[in-house]
Amino acid sequence: MYRKSCCILLMMIFAGYIPEIISQQTNFEANFNNQFQKLTELHTQIQQLHPILAHLYPVVIREKKYFYIFDFDSVKQKYQFIKKVPTTFPLPEKIRAAFNLAEYDNQTVCVVTSDVFDSIDGYVTIFHEFVHCFQGATCEQKIKGQLSVAQEAMRRQDYMWELNHPFPYTDSVFNAGYEKWLQNRLTTENEIIAFRSTLKTHLKKEDYEYLCWQEWKEGLARLIENKIQAELKLPLNQYGVEKPFDRVTLYAGGAKMIQLLFKKYPSDLSNLESLFNHIYEFSE
């Protein structure tokens, strides 16, 4: 039986089957060469749309219980596989996110599952997450440190506050004002300032901070995402503009606010701390 098994193994080796099996087991990362090539080609096409798109960031593919870390090599001008590390916390089955990864020097990275490469919209999503990488690499933590809503969440050890904060989306004052804002019924700067002033005085401080935070963080990513969609002649992402309002509504409203502020303060294009301050203070 042993001799027969050895003969079968030798036959497989000579027939070329064993290298193929080994390759399938050890070269998971090699399966993505074409996808990363396409990502860099798309980057060349869209990077002029906004200064934040000037750089490519690490991409981490979650496969089962492992992170496969890839990063862009500026000398070779392509993505290189860096390493494979075990995941240390639960993640959804499909993921598109950006966060600091301890296993990669705590850099802000784009984390996805491999299905993100199945469509052109998935590639656009990666660039959306790259906006968050830029935010994380510059001033995100500094801004968070100044917000009572974030400080209180950390005291409670609520690390999901950005998703779960109980913002009063059904509040009548918020609903009426934000509906006008999203429907382009506020046409002058004085009308917009009055709208923002009403929100700032009506909402609790933590809720107004949360509003501005989501408008800044996700509104910016939504704005740049739609610039890319337009460049690639794809449908724009309009989720959030219809009632009932929810967290995604703030993405749409934030994109609209930031578009206005970029025209008013061109230096905010890359000075994101100043951009946040202008969002917060537009009521004054």
Domain count, the chain: 2
Cα 72 to the center of its chain, rounded Å: 18
DSSP 169-227: TT-HHHHHHHHHHHTT---SHHHHHHHHHHHHHHS-HHHHHHHHHHHHHHHHHHHHHHH
Q: Which of 138, 159, 181 is the last residue of a domain?
A: 138
Report the 10 Å Cβ neighbour count for 214: 21
**pTM for the structure as a whole:** 0.89
| 59 and 133 part of one domain | yes
Please check the confidence at residue 33 and state whether its pLDDT lies above 50.
yes
Look at residue 22 in the predicted model and tell me its pLDDT: 35
| 275 and 165 part of one domain | yes
Q: What are phi and psi of 62, to 5 degrees?
A: -90, 120
CA–CA distance, 213 with 250 (Å, rounded to integer) = 9
Q: What is the pLDDT of residues 11-29, one digit of tens each?
A: 333 344 434 333 334 578 8
Please check the confidence at residue 254 and state whether its pLDDT lies above 60.
yes
Closest C-alpha among 103, 246, 63 to residue 171:
246
Q: Containing domain of residue 73, as a range?
A: 26-138
CA–CA distance, 284 with 196 (Å, rounded to integer) = 8
Look at residue 26 in the predicted model and tell me its pLDDT: 53
| 51 and 153 part of one domain | no
Q: What is the pLDDT of residues 42-93, one digit of tens each?
A: 999 999 999 999 999 999 999 999 999 999 999 999 999 999 999 989 899 9
